[in-house]
Amino acid sequence: MKTNIDRRVAVIGLGAMGGAMAATLHKAGWQVTGFDPSDAARDTAEAGGIPAVDSIDALAGTPYVVLSLPSAAIVETTVPALLQAPGTVAIVDTTTSEPEVSAAMASLAAKHGTAFVDAPVSGGRDGAASGTLSAFIGATDDALAAAEPVLVVLTGGKYDHVGGPGSGNVVKLLNNVLAAVNLVAVGEALGVAKAYGIDPATASASISGASGGSKASEHMYPKWVLSGTHDSGFALGLMARDAALAIDIAHNKGEDPQLLGTASDQWQAALSTLGPRADFTEIARTVAPSITRAGMPQVPAHD
């Protein structure tokens, strides 16, 4: 990793993930400036010692930029604004975006002498706050080298270069749709266990030590579902979006994954019932209500 670098970095998007990444960079000695359209998000960042501006244009030309945005569409409008002034070495896009958008942004950035890497992350707000995220990198070798100083701080070096521009988002979407499948499958299985009078927590722990185990059974269900907290910090609307996008990119290449598609449909049904702001672990309330404290959500009657 380069050591003689300009450690000025802008973080665009100061929500749960972006705010935590900004704090991690700040603690690592970087000069961080943030932007978010939300006054509350900017105030929270400033309370943590991170100055925030009220316009993306004010950050154009910052040597390093980290994006943590809600959608590919916002990435498409943000990157050109950042490239209005020279001086940006690398843009690290941690957004779960769309591969075609990432490839287009990499091409645009290259024309301005700037590296762009799609680096969607996994590890949640805890990983963002501790600098232990995992990242799926889509980039040229040169772009990755330019972005490495920032990536090392955010991941501790725990990132995988999976291919060229856009590849990171392909693998991240596949990761998320697999997590979506696991959350549904584990919930259904624990519902069956309870029907037989077996404590779901006991069943989950036992399965986690065997071949059917997963992060869903080992961590997500005990911590957030069976406890009734449902406070992972990741919205159900985002997971439903990611699962649907995974199916879209499969169809774009002529693939038709049946199991993944069925799980995505279940997430869309949960989204309709619970709303986008519900915690993503609340999917259990629709697929296995008997094991959750809140139970099946009440659906308003229609006239």
Rounded Cα–Cα distance for residues 36 and 53 (Å): 8
- Looking at residue 233, its pLDDT comes to 85
What value does the mean pLDDT take over residues 45-52? 95
* 150 and 196 fall within a common domain: no
- Calculate the average pLDDT of the chain: 95
Give the residue from 101, 136, 164 where a domain finishes: 164
Rounded Cα–Cα distance for residues 122 and 61 (Å): 28
pLDDT digits (tens, 9 = 90+) for 162-186: 999 999 999 999 999 999 999 999 9
* 87 and 54 fall within a common domain: yes
* 181 and 135 fall within a common domain: no
What is the residue range of 263's domain? 169-291
* 117 Cβ contact partners less than 8 Å away, ≥ 6 residues apart: 90, 91, 92, 93, 106, 137, 138, 139, 143, 144, 147, 151, 165, 168
* 121 and 221 fall within a common domain: no
* 160 and 78 fall within a common domain: yes
CATH of the domain at 275: 1.10.1040.10
Rounded Cα–Cα distance for residues 2 and 202 (Å): 49
Q: Per the domain annotation, does 231 fall within a domain?
A: yes
Rounded Cα–Cα distance for residues 34 and 232 (Å): 24
Question: Does 1 score more than 60 pLDDT?
Answer: no
With cut-offs at 50, 70 and 90, classify the pLDDT of residue 3.
Answer: low
The CA–CA distances, whole Å, from 37 to 40, 41, 61, 215 equal 9, 8, 19, 34
Kindly tell me the sign of the dihedral angle through the C-alpha atoms of 104, 108, 111, 112: negative
Q: In terms of DSSP bridges, do strands 121-122 and 134-138 run parallel, antiparallel, or are they unpaired? A: antiparallel
Q: Per the domain annotation, does 303 fall within a domain?
A: no
- Would you call 172 a catalytic residue per the annotation? yes
pTM for this one? 0.91
pLDDT digits (tens, 9 = 90+) for 205-260: 999 999 999 999 999 999 999 999 999 988 999 999 999 999 999 999 999 999 99
Q: Per the domain annotation, does 299 fall within a domain?
A: no
111, 172, 194, 215: the catalytic one is: 172
* 69 and 194 fall within a common domain: no
* 187 and 277 fall within a common domain: yes
* 99 and 17 fall within a common domain: yes
pLDDT digits (tens, 9 = 90+) for 60-100: 999 999 999 999 999 999 999 999 999 999 999 999 999 99
CATH of the domain at 90: 3.40.50.720
